[in-house]
Amino acid sequence: MNKISRLKEINFLLEKEGEVQNAELAERFKVSEMTIRRDIDLLSKDAAIIRTRGGAYLAPVSQQSEPSYTFRLQESSAVKEQIASKAAEIMQDHMNIFLDSGTTTECVLKYVDKRKRYMVITNGINIAAELVNHSQISSVLIGGDFRTNTLSTAGPTAEEQVKKFRFDVAFLGVNAIDAEGNAYVGTTLEVGLKHSIIENSARCYVLADSTKFDSYSLVSYVNISAISGVITDSGISKEILEHMQSRHVKVIIAD
């Protein structure tokens, strides 16, 4: 098992059981406790994971620093609307579309053409709830491990379900985008799911407001030059825009 797979599995165990012990993990993965300690050090950069002397535990939601769904929905709402509107322009009649969990992706539904019919597959509980108001859209909610802070599902079950579909276009959320165009999320539990979505999509776009550029989070899931592009707002600086383009990252600006 490679490092990324091991990190994903440790994160999955934390979300499932609440805590892990280094010695047990070392035996489970047939590696040294030193290797496990390094893994835990990396995972603990996510504020939801707290190191202990002999392992780690998952902090209660009330102690986690990740912004709540309600907070993120209100944050930069006008910018989210602009990005969502631009994304909706890509959606064509009878498309199979994946909408990743997130507040910007949820906004996309406000701008769909109600004269057209779509199939929307999502791992976002908030998005599934909003789809009730769109009778022209058929929908599928992906199951898996429920993450209360993000109102989403992830993990191995979600990955396997996504592999059964083929998407005309997918819109993905992101925590950060670094100077090289790598897109990040805050937990390894999401990485495998993101990979499955990308692999099964004809086109794939990351939706990110301009404040998410030139930063990083816990783990990268794709370099945006390898997918269709990123949709952002006009607040992106000229310097960052030119740097992204020099890295062959397609940047679509919503205005």
CA angle in degrees (0–180, nearest 5) for 122-128-133: 130
H or E element at residue 244: helix 238-246
Helix, strand counts (H, E) of the chain = 10, 15
What region does 248 belong to: left with phi over 0, alpha with psi -120 to 50, or beta?
A: left
CB neighbour list of residue 42: distance below 8 Å, 6 or more residues apart: 7, 218
Greatest CA separation for the chain = 59
* 123 touches 153 (CB < 8 A): yes
CA distance 14 to 181: 29
Report pTM: 0.76
Distance CA 84, CA 96 (A): 17
Task: Match domain 69-254 to its CATH number in 3.40.50.1820, 3.30.70.1140, 3.40.50.10470, 3.40.50.1360.
Answer: 3.40.50.1360
CATH code for the part of the protein at 3-62? 1.10.10.10
- Which amino acid is residue 171, in one-letter code? F
Q: Which of 125, 107, 100, 251 is nearest to 185 (CA)?
A: 100
> What's the pLDDT at 188?
79
Q: Are 10 and 2 in contact (CB under 8 A)?
A: no
Question: Can you give the pLDDT at residue 154?
Answer: 92
> Strand 96-99 to strand 167-172: parallel, antiparallel, or no bridges (unpaired)?
parallel
Instruction: Give the pairing of strands 182-185 and 176-177.
Output: antiparallel
- Enumerate residue ranges in the chain where pLDDT < 70: 4, 45-48, 59-76
Q: What is the domain partition of the chain in residue ranges?
A: 3-62, 69-254
- Contact present, 78 and 233 (Cβ < 8 Å): no
Q: Which residues contact 27 (CB under 8 A, 6 or more apart)?
A: none
What pLDDT is stored for residue 229 in this prediction? Answer: 98
| pLDDT value of residue 64 | 45
* The predicted structure's pLDDT at residue 146: 87
Give residue-wise pLDDT tens across range 168-194: 999 999 988 998 999 998 887 899 999
Do 3-62 and 69-254 share a fold?
no
pLDDT tens figures, 187-234: 878 999 999 999 999 999 999 999 999 887 878 899 999 999 999 999
- Supply the pLDDT for residue 46: 57
Q: What pLDDT is recorded for position 70?
A: 52
Say which residue the tokens 């992106």 belong to: 236
Give the pLDDT of residue 62.
Answer: 44
